[in-house]
Amino acid sequence: MTGAAACLAGFEGIAVVIHGSSGCYYYPTTLLHAPLYGTFILENEAIFGSELRLREVIEGISKFGKKIAVVTTCVPALIGEDIKSMLSEYDVILVDSPGFSGDVETGYKKGLLSLEPAVDQATEGINIDGICLFDPFSNGNVREIMRLLGNASIPVGTVFCADELRNVVHAARYTLGTNRDFASGVGEFLGGTLGFEELRETFNRVASVFPEADISPVEKEMQHEEERIVRACDKFLRRFDPPQTIFFSGFSYATFAAQTLKRYLDADILFIGTRNEPGPSPFPSGHVQDLSLVRSLIRHHNPSLVIGSSFERSVAANRAFVGLTPPLRGVVQLAPHPVAGITGILSFVENVLNACMDQKK
C-alpha cells in the first residue's frame, strides 16, 4: 500500500486516497511527507460496508480538479468489497494494494502500471527513474542526476515518479536509473547511477546514443571527486582498521554501499540483509524482514559498522551507524541528500568516515 501511494503521490495532479483505517493512512503519511487523503473506515463500516464513506471522501475532493487515485488496504480487501463497482460513475484510478499482496516495490509497480506510462518519440532527452517518495534520498537523487545531465547538455524527459501527471504518457525513448528496486520499465534503459563504475558505463552509453552531448565535464568531475575519496579513505586507513560492516537495505542501495566500502576502505563485508528479494551478489546476502533476525545477525557477526534504518540503529548498541533506508526516525533531513550520482557517492563515503571516526572517539 505504501509503495502504491508513494508512486502515485509523486505526480502533480493526482489526489491519493488511502481506503482503510486510520493506521493505514498515518503510516504512509509520516514516511512519504506528501498530501494524502484517507477514508478512516471504522468497525461498523468494516461490517456493513464502506461504500458510503468512500463516496463521501471522493465527492469532497473531486472539486479540486485532480485525478483521483484510490489505494485499497487490507480491510476492504478482506471483506471482499467491489470497489470498482462502487465507483463506476467516477473517473478514478484504482490500485488494489493490501499489505499481504506484496512489499513496497510491488505496490510501487502496481501504482505505476495503473497510470499506463508510454514513450512519446517526440519527447527529447532522457527519463530518470527509480525515484520514490518512500526513499528519503529520492529528492536528492533527482536533483543530482538533473545536474549531471545538464552538465552534459542533455534535457530531462519524464521523472518516474516525481513529475506532472501529463508527462507519464510522454516519456522519452531512453532512461537512466537511480535505484533499480524502483525501476519504471519505461523506455530503453541506459544504466544506473550508483557508484563511479556504473556512472561511467552509463554516461558512455549516453554519449553513444546522443552524439551531440558533451560528457567530458561529467568525466572530469568524476575523476577529480574519486581522487578526493581515495585520499580521504587512505588517511582514515592510516589511523584505523577497515570497518567490519553489515548492511540492511533494499538490494540496489545495499549492493552499491558494499561495493563502495570494499573498493575504497577495504571493508570486510560481513552480510547484506535485503528488505526485498536479493539478486546475484558477490557478498553473503539474504532476505531479512524481521527485527529479531536483524538483532541475531548483528550479534553473530559483531560488526563495527551497521548500515540500515532506525530499526537497525535501535539494536546496533554502540556501533557506528549510517542511515541508508527508511524509516530514518529521530533525524532532521531538510537538504536534498542523494545516494545516486557523484554527490551521492561523496555524501555516503563522508557519512561512513564520520560515523566510524565518531565511534572510535
**Mean pLDDT, the chain, whole residue set:** 95
Note the pLDDT of residue 210. Answer: 96
| pLDDT above 80: residue 314 | yes
Question: Domain containing 147: what range?
Answer: 126-215
| 250 and 197 assigned to the same domain | no
285-280-292 Cα angle (round to 5): 20
**Domain final residue, candidates 215, 246, 276:** 215
- Average pLDDT on 176-191 reads 98
| 197 and 279 assigned to the same domain | no
Note the pLDDT of residue 115. Answer: 97
**Domain final residue, candidates 60, 88, 114:** 114
133-180 per-position pLDDT tens digit: 999 999 999 999 999 999 999 999 999 999 999 999 999 999 999 999
Q: What is the rounded CA–CA span in Å between residue 133 and residue 36? A: 12
**Better pLDDT: 205 or 44:** 205
Q: What is the pTM assigned to this prediction?
A: 0.94
| 45 and 110 assigned to the same domain | yes
Contact 4, 108 (CB under 8 A): yes
Q: What is the CATH number of the domain that holds 203?
A: 3.40.50.1980
| 228 and 355 assigned to the same domain | yes
| 236 and 356 assigned to the same domain | yes
Note the pLDDT of residue 232. Answer: 98
Buried b (16+ CB within 10 A) or exposed e, 317-328: eebbbbbbbbeb
Note the pLDDT of residue 299. Answer: 97
- Average pLDDT on 270-287 reads 95
Residue 121 lies in a domain: no
| 102 and 185 assigned to the same domain | no
Residue 177 lies in a domain: yes
| 225 and 208 assigned to the same domain | no
| 19 and 147 assigned to the same domain | no
Contact 6, 104 (CB under 8 A): yes
Residue 99 lies in a domain: yes
| pLDDT confidence bin for 80, thresholds 50/70/90 | confident
| pLDDT above 80: residue 45 | no
Residue 119 lies in a domain: no
Residue 267 lies in a domain: yes
What's the Cα-to-Cα distance from 266 to each of 162, 259, 261, 324, rounded to whole Å? 36, 10, 6, 20
- Average pLDDT on 249-271 reads 98
**Domain final residue, candidates 196, 215, 234:** 215
| 89 and 140 assigned to the same domain | no
Q: What is the rounded CA–CA span in Å between residue 95 and residue 73? A: 9
| 173 and 257 assigned to the same domain | no
- Average pLDDT on 193-204 reads 98
**Better pLDDT: 90 or 119:** 119
**Share of residues in the chain with pLDDT > 70 (%):** 99
- Average pLDDT on 34-47 reads 86
| pLDDT above 80: residue 44 | no
Residue 56 lies in a domain: yes
Q: What is the rounded CA–CA span in Å between residue 39 and residue 19? A: 5
288-299 per-position pLDDT tens digit: 999 999 999 999
Residue 100 lies in a domain: yes
| pLDDT confidence bin for 65, thresholds 50/70/90 | confident
**Share of residues in the chain with pLDDT > 90 (%):** 85
219-225-228 Cα angle (round to 5): 145
Q: Please give the full DSSP string across 49-109, using - where no structure is assigned.
A: -SHHHHHHHHHHHGGG-PEEEEEE-HHHHHTT--HHHHTTTS-EEEEE--GGG--HHHHHH
Note the pLDDT of residue 89. Answer: 86
Residue 120 lies in a domain: no
| 99 and 132 assigned to the same domain | no
212-244 per-position pLDDT tens digit: 999 999 999 999 999 999 999 999 999 999 999
| 254 and 348 assigned to the same domain | yes
| pLDDT above 80: residue 46 | no
Note the pLDDT of residue 48. Answer: 67
How many separate domains does the chain show?
Answer: 3
| pLDDT confidence bin for 88, thresholds 50/70/90 | confident
